[in-house]
């Protein structure tokens, strides 16, 4: 079975300091992993994705994530937080089907990031 | 590309009324998904379509919910009759070949 755990429900940082949002996953097969961001009253926007290529994945707005199979982790980082980064972030795991086609997304519970001046 | 388009963005209705939510997927995408987001349950997949055909509706809460996709560029989610516990944000998402999904802005439904 596949599952995803976001280790922090809330993270608070000061503007200009690094961001770390933690995510652990469980998957019986080679997973695809995603981070989505949801700003208040907005839809979910894809930040970045890992699909078994390079383990360090760069996304939009300066975010990146590293896939660590040995630790079953896919933590999201950013060197310097900006006020506009305040939002909710979802770690998502998807299982590739050998036959191809739709991959069900398993969403984490979300981490709310607050950025203070 | 305009992305996934949903309408209305906000809907307030009284219990017992019919509600219809609309979605236009990204052109060329062959999968369409309907999700519901609440504080208590997070994001839940309600139903998904592939090439306009409903594939899995096991997430639809009950018979009051129905979804259609008459063509590749339009889908509806209908609730009849609506109840206060249906209050949530409903998202539509589309995907090419079922890999990454692109979400619309959502419809915030309030049933009083």
CA dihedral B23, B71, B98, A42 (to 10 degrees): -10
Chain B positions contacting chain A at CB under 8 Å are 4, 31, 42-43, 45, 48, 50, 55, 91, 93, 95, 97-106, 108
Asked if residues A95 and A103 have their Cβ atoms less than 8 Å apart, the reply is yes
The Cα A101–Cα A94 span in angstroms is 12
End-to-end alpha carbon distance in chain A: 41
* Interface contact B55-A46, CB threshold 8 A: no
CA B8 to chain centre: 11
The residues that bridge with B88 in the sheet, in sequence order, are B109
pLDDT computed for residue A99 by the predictor: 62
CB under 8 Å to B88, separation ≥6 — which residues?
B36, B37, B38, B109
Strand runs labelled E in chain A: 3-6, 10-14, 19-21, 23-26, 31-38, 44-50, 56-58, 64-68, 73-78, 87-95, 105-107, 111-116
Residues of chain A found within 8 Å of residue B108, distances taken between Cβ atoms: 41
Question: pLDDT tens digits for B46-72?
Answer: 999 999 999 889 899 889 999 999 999
pLDDT per residue rounded down to tens, chain A (117 residues)? 778 999 999 999 999 999 999 999 988 777 889 999 999 888 899 999 998 778 899 999 999 999 998 999 999 999 999 999 999 999 999 876 666 667 778 899 999 999 999
């Amino acid at each position: 079975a596949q599952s995803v755990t976001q280790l922090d429900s809330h993270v608070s940082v000061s503007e200009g300091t690094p961001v770390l949002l933690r995510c652990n996953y469980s998957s019986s097969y080679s997973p695809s992993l995603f981070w989505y961001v949801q700003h208040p009253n907005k839809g979910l926007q894809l930040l970045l994705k890992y699909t078994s290529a390079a383990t360090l994945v760069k996304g939009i707005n300066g975010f990146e994530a590293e896939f660590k199979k040995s630790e079953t982790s896919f933590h999201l980082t950013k060197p310097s937080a900006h006020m506009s980064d305040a939002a909710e972030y979802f770690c998502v795991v998807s299982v590739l089907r050998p036959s191809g086609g739709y991959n069900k997304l398993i969403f984490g519970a979300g981490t709310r990031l607050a950025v203070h001046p | 590309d305009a992305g996934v388009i949903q309408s209305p963005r906000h809907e307030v209705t009284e219990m017992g009324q019919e509600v219809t939510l609309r979605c236009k997927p990204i052109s060329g995408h062959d999968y369409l998904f309907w999700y519901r987001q609440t504080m208590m349950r997070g994001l839940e997949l309600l139903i998904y379509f592939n090439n306009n055909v409903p594939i899995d509706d096991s997430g639809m809460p009950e018979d009051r919910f129905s979804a259609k996709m008459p063509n590749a560029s339009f889908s509806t989610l209908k609730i009849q009759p609506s109840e206060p516990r249906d209050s949530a944000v409903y998202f539509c998402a589309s995907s090419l070949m079922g890999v990454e999904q692109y979400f619309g802005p959502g419809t915030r439904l309030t049933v009083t």
